[in-house]
Amino acid sequence: MTINYSNGKKYTPLTTTPKKLTSLKKMSHSKRGMSLEDDLNDSNRYYLAHNIAVVHKKPTPIKIVKVKYPSRSQALITEAYFSQASTTDYNGVFKGKYIDFEAKETTSSTAFPLKNIHEHQLKHMLQVHEQSGIAFVIIRFTNLSSTYLLDIKQLHYYWQRMLNDGRKSIALKEIEATGHPIILGYHPRVDYIQVIKNIYHL
C-alpha cells in the first residue's frame, strides 16, 4: 500500500525488528539498536500488563484514496495519505490523571533543536495543561544514551524565547537543569511513570 502526505510526498515507514532480551547482563547490547518509540511501546505494554497505567500510541489519521478488491470478501488499500497533522505521540491515564506527551530523538550531543516540535503540538500540550492534564515531551540524545522528561511549561518557556529572537534549540545543560532524567532499565525499559510520580506528586 502506498501512503502519501497531503502534499503528494511519499511516506516511507521505518522498519524495526523487535529484539528479544535474554538476560539483564546482555540488556545494553540487545537494546542498543532500539529506538525511543520501541522502548516506550515496550514500557507501555509493561505498565498495562501490571495495571500501572494505560498509555497508548495515537494512530495517525489517514485518508484512503484507492482501494482494490481482489475478491468479494477482501479490500486492499493501495493508496492513502495523512489527512491531518497529528497532535502528540502518546496519551493515556495514570492514577486518574490524563497524560499526553510527545517523544523525540536527536543525534546532537549538545542541544535539542526546537524545529523538532511543531507549533500545533505545543498548543495541544498547553491545552492539556490548562485542563489540569499532564503534558510533557520525552527527549532522547541518542549519541549520549540519555533520556529526559521536559514538562510543557519548560518547553513553552524555551519556545517563547525562540520567538523573541533567542536560540532555536535547548542546550543539553538547560535540559539537565530544568528537565528530569529517565534512567533506562530492564522492565520497564523507560520508566517515565516513576518520574511522573516524583515530579507531579502522584
pTM: 0.76
Mean pLDDT of 117-140: 98
Per the domain annotation, does 142 fall within a domain? yes
Task: Provide the mean pLDDT of the chain.
Answer: 85
The Cα–Cα gap between 19 and 88 comes to 26
The answer to whether 181 touches 148, Cβ cutoff 8 Å, is yes
Mean pLDDT of 117-121: 96
Mean pLDDT of 185-194: 96
Give me the phi and psi of 192, to 5 degrees please. Answer: -75, -20
Question: Residue 31 above 60 pLDDT?
Answer: no
Per the domain annotation, does 8 fall within a domain? no
Going by pLDDT thresholds of 50, 70 and 90, the confidence category of residue 62 is: low
87 marked ligand binding residue: yes
Per the domain annotation, does 11 fall within a domain? no
Question: Residue 84 above 80 pLDDT?
Answer: no
Per the domain annotation, does 176 fall within a domain? yes
Question: Residue 41 above 80 pLDDT?
Answer: yes
Per the domain annotation, does 65 fall within a domain? no
Instruction: Count each helix (H run) and each strand (E run) in the chain, helices first.
Output: 6, 11
Provide the number of structural domains found in the chain.
1
Give the pLDDT confidence score for residue 18 in this predicted structure. Answer: 40
Give the pLDDT confidence score for residue 133 in this predicted structure. Answer: 98
Per the domain annotation, does 186 fall within a domain? yes
102 marked ligand binding residue: yes
The Cα–Cα gap between 46 and 189 comes to 9
Give the CATH number for residue 111.
3.40.1350.10
Q: Which domain holds residue 162?
A: 24-59+87-199
The Cα–Cα gap between 183 and 174 comes to 18
Per the domain annotation, does 80 fall within a domain? no
191 marked ligand binding residue: no
Give the pLDDT confidence score for residue 71 in this predicted structure. Answer: 77
60 marked ligand binding residue: no
